[in-house]
Structure 1
Amino acid sequence: MLDIAEELHRWVEQGRDFAVATVVAVGGSAPRRPGAALAVDSAGTAIGSVSGGCVEGAVYDLCLESLTDGETVLERFGYSDDDAFAVGLTCGGVVDILVTPIRAESPARQVFVAALSAAARGEAAALARVAEGPDGVMGRAILVRPGGSCEGSLGGHTELDRTAAAEASAMLDAGRTGAVVIGEDGRRCGQPLTLLVESSVPAPRMIVFGAVDFASALVRVGKFLGYHVTVCDARPVFATRTRFPDADEIVVDWPHRYLESAEVDGRTVLCVLTHDAKFDVPLLELALRLPVAYVGAMGSRRTHEDRNTRLREVGVTELELARLRSPIGLDLGARTPEETALSIAAEIVAGRRGGSGASLAGAHTPIHHDVPREAAVPIGSVA
């Protein structure tokens, strides 16, 4: 539910009661990943999605029922179900949906409110709630923040809360969302519980070097994909808010000097659009040695070869050069800045998700490369 935190936080501020349906586990060709959510308030207003349209109607009804009776429920929808065609999940997938009412009297309302507030502000936090377990703990939740601080309880059992917090902290550190089982041996925490842990982490960074016309289009696409986008250029006449109104940050500095002090991580993407050796070479010499997700550089094939020669001369190794995506982007035949931005974004997504960039038509490869081929994780009595 943290994927729609901003909207839900507004509902909280308006005093609305609502129910949230969240994807716990998926298998096969289910279109959404764990953490995807659909919320329905007491007036019937809906936001979000759990299936891209396949089972929305059935899940909507579950939310209304949960709001009425106050019960937390877990439901599985799958191709093999008798009502598969009725609810619309005919793509061969399986999806487990957890529906949680968040009403004024809900025992964990304050924890949910705190989680939504943190996610809406872009703060790191992990929300763990019971997806399968005894009636006494269904609907319970805990919130874990970086450093191990925790609020809420799964039922007042210290060892249970400690174990759940540890699992949630590990998921938060990895930036992962999904189901985990605790107490499997029946000794640490009694009856095994399945938790849905949702991690909210700050948006990944996209740093665009070069305040050129192609950069403006790439900034817009980067924002659409959920990146925190920075534009960096040493020329103040070009690096302006007027030219890049959609950027989160505009930096006037030499690219390599800015990158030396910038905060980057394994989700950061670096797009070098300057195609000028005096900027590119010192920048890429540094960029190719950083633990980032993607480094791409614009330019013709001749520019690429010349740039690689210059990079070798300053000591960049062949292994480091192999990380460079240049010429940048996938071959879409792009001409305009917008088309070029789309080709760059497509290459970034393909790298992130393990895609080939080839056409799906006529291919025999999986549509969703990062989805396990096996069925959804079994969750207790839901089968």
Structure 2
Amino acid sequence: MSSVAERVADLSQARRPFVHATVVRAQEPTSARAGDDAVILDDGSIEGFVGGVCAESSVRAAALDTLSSGNTMLLRVLPDDGAGFPDTPGARVVVNPCHSGGAIEIFLRPVLPRPLLGVVGDNPIGRAVGELASFLDFEVKELSSYAGTTAVVVAGLGRNEEKAIRAALDAGVPYIALVASRTRSAVVLDSMNLTDAERGLVRAHAGLDIGARTPQEIALSLLAEIVRDLRHGTLPAPAVGIEDSRTTGGPVAVVLSASAPRRAVDPVCGMTVFVDDDSPHAVVNGQDYWFCRVGCRDSFVAAA
């Protein structure tokens, strides 16, 4: 089995969103130790070790929340009383009802694919766009395929523009920036017989109006418009392994995979549990209940 570090590298290369969870503090008798780590995928599966089954369930639930928000989180998993474990302001606290006791703090870091940007045009403007986009942490591609691309900047300056726009539209790219004057933009788009929906995806005379003149200033106006739309949630950022994406004013975040397991709340201890084939389950008065462990299930059924 690959180490967690190798798995992190493989997932990043594959542009698969995941959470890297690392135990930063542990108090006996918990089975986890500081430095233990794991990855949690957008389907809720976990690889690695950050504690026993009760702690793991809390980590998986919190990790999926960080993928949805795009924000890091410090998770504190405490025994019933939490006595003897220093307070940490700003952390999320969950109670661990398992008999083993102990307490742990786990840092959850969502790792999301960088937005893909395609640049068409081997000229000063195209090169400036690529350089600035890399500085802004976009992944810049020389495109053989436009699939999965967040945006394409067409800076052909009269060369192969129609071909590039058509290929980007056919690949479902949600943002296509045409670098041209308003007059020439209209001529190019009118010649392509685009539908209204297709034309709406092409930003003619693209970029924010900042009075740009140099290639670097034009690149700044183009990237400023793309970043604005990403942060405001009007521009999706497709990526392999996720169904959709959105923003929360911070990092670009993901909508969880359709294969992510359903969650339920244990009616005895209040823990969030994942509903799968291994989850303790009971039907009481015609209603389904799921539990973090068999003990919670048995006590609930006995009291019903």
Q: TM-score range by the shorter chain?
A: 0.5 to 0.7
**Matches for 1:1-383 after TM superposition, within 5 Å:** 113=5, 124=16, 125-129=18-22, 136=30, 139=34, 140-144=36-40, 150-157=46-53, 159-162=54-57, 164-165=59-60, 168=63, 176-179=70-73, 196-231=107-142, 258-259=144-145, 262-265=146-149, 268-276=150-158, 279-288=160-169, 290-292=171-173, 294-311=175-192, 313=193, 315-317=194-196, 319-354=197-232, 370=249
What letter matches 2:39 in structure 1? L
- 1:347 is aligned with what amino acid? E
Per-residue displacement from partner, 1:170-209 (whole Å, max 9, x unpaired)?
A: 755x693433879989688799988543222443221111
- CA contact under 8 A between 2:178 and 2:203: conserved in structure 1? yes
The alignment partner of 1:322 has SS state of helix
Distance between the aligned counterparts of 1:284 and 1:331, measured in 2? Answer: 22
Q: Please give the alpha-carbon distance, in whole angstroms, between the structure 1 residues aligned to 2:64 and 2:186.
A: 45
Contact 1:208 1:231 in 2 (8 A): yes
Identical counterparts, % of pairs: 23
The superposition leaves residues 206-256 of structure 1 with CA deviations (integer Å, 9 ceiling, x where unpaired) of 111122221111111111112222245xxxxxxxxxxxxxxxxxxxxxxxx
Residue 231 to residue 142, structure 1, CA distance change in 2 (3 Å):
closer
Q: Is the 8 A contact 1:160 1:188 kept in 2?
A: no
TM-score, normalising length from structure 1?
A: 0.44
Gaps of 5+ in 1: 1-109, 233-257, 357-368, 372-383
Q: Verify the 8 A CA contact 1:182 1:189 in the aligned structure 2.
A: no
Rate the CA distance shift 1:355–1:123 in 2: closer, same or farther, 3 A.
closer
Give the C-alpha shift of residue 310 in structure 1: 2.5
Q: Report if aligned partners of 1:288, 1:321 keep a CA contact under 8 Å in 2.
A: no
Change (3 A) 1:270 1:123: closer
C-alpha offsets along residues 302-354 of structure 1, whole Å, 9 cap, x if unaligned? 0122223224x2x422x332232221211121111111111111111111223
Q: Deviations over 1:8-40 (max 9, x none)?
A: xxxxxxxxxxxxxxxxxxxxxxxxxxxxxxxxx
State the distance in 1 between where 2:98 and 2:117 align.
Answer: 42
Contact 2:124 2:215 in 1 (8 A): yes
Q: CA RMSD in A?
A: 4.3
Per-residue deviation, residues 31-76 of structure 1 (Å, max 9, x unmatched): xxxxxxxxxxxxxxxxxxxxxxxxxxxxxxxxxxxxxxxxxxxxxx
Aligned residue pairs: how many?
215
SS of equivalent to 2:176: strand
- 2:81 is matched with none
Distance 1:166 1:337 in 2: 46
Contact preservation (8 Å) 1:123, 1:200: no
